[in-house]
Structure 1
Amino acid sequence: MADFQANTRPFAELDRAGRTRRLRRLAEAALTAYDVPVARLTPLAHGLNTAFRVDGADGHRYVLRVQRPDGPGPARVRSEMAWLSALRRETDLVVPRPVPTRERDLVAVVADPAVPEPRTCVLCHWVDGRFVDERLSAPQLYAVGEFTARLHLHGARMNGLDRGRVDDLTEFGRTQVDGFSAAVVDRAVARTGDERIRDAVARVRAVRAELGFGADAFGLVHGDLRQVNYLFHRGRVRAIDFDDCGFGHYAYDLAVTLGALRHLPQREELREALLDGYRSVRPAPATTDPRVLAAFATLRRVQLRLR
């Protein structure tokens, strides 16, 4: 009886473990779309999306991501995979390599009776490496800066992909023509009770206007390049989880990386190393201007509060 009740309870009433069990079955169904012999499926740390490590009977390892229902839809996820594929073809940057389905699609949309809505799924080859946080060193952040600059150089050429803006204030803002409109800001202030949001938005508006939207300052960016999304292997930087990628100012991407270092005692040393590494590839004074980075860092903190 207990098992029957667990299987018939509404998805929204399940705890994380219960939802993961349901999504595992959906993931198993998704994997039938790929020419990958599966030996084992293991849930990974649960974020906004749900991911599974896939150990193949062929000796290869993969990651299957089951998209959250309120996240990017199939077209936008397909664009994310298209950028990753282009990065693998056209650069030596190490990022996840998408696995196409048997139908040569980069996504699989799968439904399961126990999950309320169809889910977009993607499969990528596993990226080896280790994550570092407290022991991050200046040479490592210099390498992250170089990597980020090279990523931006490639992102500047990726016009026309169906990805949104990374700097819209809220999810509601992404549905509006202007992600900083009065209606968007009013909702954010009402939700938090913090009038300082208006000043933060005004500063970012001014900075965006100053930077402009040319390819020297604006393009396709990672959007969430924090310690949990970059890793090191044999001295090289690698990046994963491009789920938040979209169009924005390159300074926004740097501000996200810098903001994630705030808890570290060596943060100033790491900050300078990151920016030095970035400038070694892209000597762009406006992108690395402290005032510009501070404005985007404040925006990022507001965005995280409103998630």
Structure 2
Amino acid sequence: MSAELPKTFRNALDDRARQALVHWGVAEQSPELLKYRENAVFRVRLADGRPAALRLHRSGYHGEAALRSELQFMAALAEGGLAVPQPIASRDGRLLVPLPHWHAFAAQHADVIDWVDGESLGESGKPLAQSPERLVEIFSALGASMAEMHNLADRWTPPEGFWRAAWDEEGLIGDRPLWGRFWDCEGLSAAQASALSKLRLDLSQGLASLPAPARDFGLIHADLVRENVLVEDKAGDMRVKLIDFDDAGYGYRLFDLATALLKNRREPAYDVIEAALISGYRSRRNLSDEALTCLPLFLVLRSLTYVGWFAERPELSDARKRVLRYADETLALAAEVGLR
């Protein structure tokens, strides 16, 4: 990760991280940069030696209320027994600390969350390494954890001022989707733009006619891709942990299931993966066969979000190539499941 950033900027980013760590009383260290995407994420050490994750949030991506609400949601899930990161308060008791404008950095917020042990389920674009038997175990546990997350969210009363974006019809296919206007973004061919515009109308009709069981709606993770699912084995006991709630918000529960499945559709063991995820989910929460008839619709909706996401980030070296690829993949998926 550090090799991809210019040395001058990387040094400034490290200094920015130490500025934030002053608020936790541990500025005298060399933070280890793990990820630089929506947030800059560092592995750091707390005063007692425990590892933790420092996040420098990208300026303008989420407002203060949304960032604070993310931390409140994670804390509620952890209190309910779910294996998710917990926020760690600064020396003066704040979970979220504002950082002023400084050199190349706009004003932004920082937080620290506890370190979550485990190995990521996999990496997008690379085949899963686990055996089919192991995948059954993992995805069954993931389905159960996802269902319990939805159960806890339904039982929880958010505090006053809680706000997270909604992955509803407007947030997915409205005039200003959360991850960008996928049907008229720069880089699409005329044929792709036309086909995606038509697909958008078809999806709107599909959402309007969802059967009641498929309308299950509430707080969701919204980004349970492989990298955000950690697997830990301790003394023969396997446990999955959920990380990166940066995009958590209000949405259809089927959207969470679709997100966990989409990038695995070309796996040889996909049928096993899907069956295990659904079985695990059903072990903790009701999910009817009627609701599952709408899963293909949400797979297509999830796929479309990647078109808009990369179109709004032209600074990424392969953004244009990915826009074209995800557009073609989404249209092919829509045809495969009967939506085109």
TM value normalised by structure 2: 0.75
- Residue 66 in 1 paired to residue 73 in 2? no
Greater displacement, 188-197 / 137-146? 188-197
Q: Distance in 1 between matches of 2:242 and 2:19?
A: 28
Cα distance change on mapping 1:56 and 1:255 into 2, 3 Å: same
Which residue identity does 1:135 align to in structure 2? A
Aligned equivalent of 1:10: none
Q: Distance in 1 between matches of 2:165 and 2:8?
A: 32
The answer (yes or no) to whether the contact 2:213–2:290 under 8 Å persists in 1 is no
Deviations 1:111-133 (A, max 9, x none): 25222411111100100111233
- Residue 225 in 1 paired to residue 224 in 2? yes
Cα distance change on mapping 1:15 and 1:185 into 2, 3 Å: closer
Greater displacement, 199-208 / 46-55? 199-208
Q: Distance in 2 between matches of 1:197 and 1:157?
A: 38
Shift of 1:232: 1.2
Alignment gaps of 5+ in structure 2: 123-127, 310-340
The counterpart of 1:255, out of the listed 238, 258, 275, is 258
Cα distance change on mapping 1:185 and 1:40 into 2, 3 Å: closer
The counterpart of 1:108, out of the listed 97, 121, 125, is 97
The counterpart of 2:278, out of the listed 275, 279, 301, is 275
Aligned equivalent of 2:111: 122
Q: CA RMSD in A?
A: 3.0
Aligned equivalent of 2:330: none
Shift of 1:206: 3.5
Aligned equivalent of 1:149: 147
The answer (yes or no) to whether the contact 1:287–1:293 under 8 Å persists in 2 is no
Aligned equivalent of 1:165: 166
The answer (yes or no) to whether the contact 2:213–2:291 under 8 Å persists in 1 is no
Aligned equivalent of 2:319: none
Aligned equivalent of 1:8: none
Q: Distance in 1 between matches of 2:173 and 2:118?
A: 33
Shift of 1:105: 2.1
The answer (yes or no) to whether the contact 2:182–2:305 under 8 Å persists in 1 is no
The counterpart of 2:24, out of the listed 34, 43, 46, is 34
Cα distance change on mapping 1:38 and 1:206 into 2, 3 Å: farther
Greater displacement, 261-270 / 72-81? 261-270
The answer (yes or no) to whether the contact 2:76–2:156 under 8 Å persists in 1 is no
Which residue identity does 2:58 align to in structure 1? R
Shift of 1:268: 1.4
Aligned equivalent of 1:7: none
Shift of 1:79: 0.2
SS in 2 for 1:45: strand
Q: How does 1:192-271 map to 2 (within 5 A)?
A: 193=190, 194=192, 195-211=194-210, 217-234=216-233, 235-271=238-274
Shift of 1:205: 2.7
Which residue identity does 1:86 align to in structure 2? A
Alignment gaps of 5+ in structure 1: 1-13
Q: Distance in 2 between matches of 1:276 and 1:208?
A: 25
Sequence identity (%): 27
Q: Distance in 2 between matches of 1:125 and 1:202?
A: 43
SS in 2 for 1:44: strand
Shift of 1:208: 3.2
Shift of 1:41: 1.2
Q: Distance in 2 between matches of 1:25 and 1:213?
A: 52
The answer (yes or no) to whether the contact 2:167–2:251 under 8 Å persists in 1 is yes
Q: How does 1:72-87 map to 2 (within 5 A)?
A: 72-87=62-77
The answer (yes or no) to whether the contact 1:275–1:288 under 8 Å persists in 2 is no
The answer (yes or no) to whether the contact 1:39–1:57 under 8 Å persists in 2 is no
Cα distance change on mapping 1:95 and 1:157 into 2, 3 Å: same
The answer (yes or no) to whether the contact 2:144–2:281 under 8 Å persists in 1 is yes
Q: Distance in 1 between matches of 2:18 and 2:174?
A: 30
Cα distance change on mapping 1:173 and 1:55 into 2, 3 Å: same
Deviations 1:211-258 (A, max 9, x none): 489997000100100110011112011011000101100001110000
Greater displacement, 20-29 / 217-226? 20-29
Aligned equivalent of 1:300: 302
The answer (yes or no) to whether the contact 1:20–1:50 under 8 Å persists in 2 is no
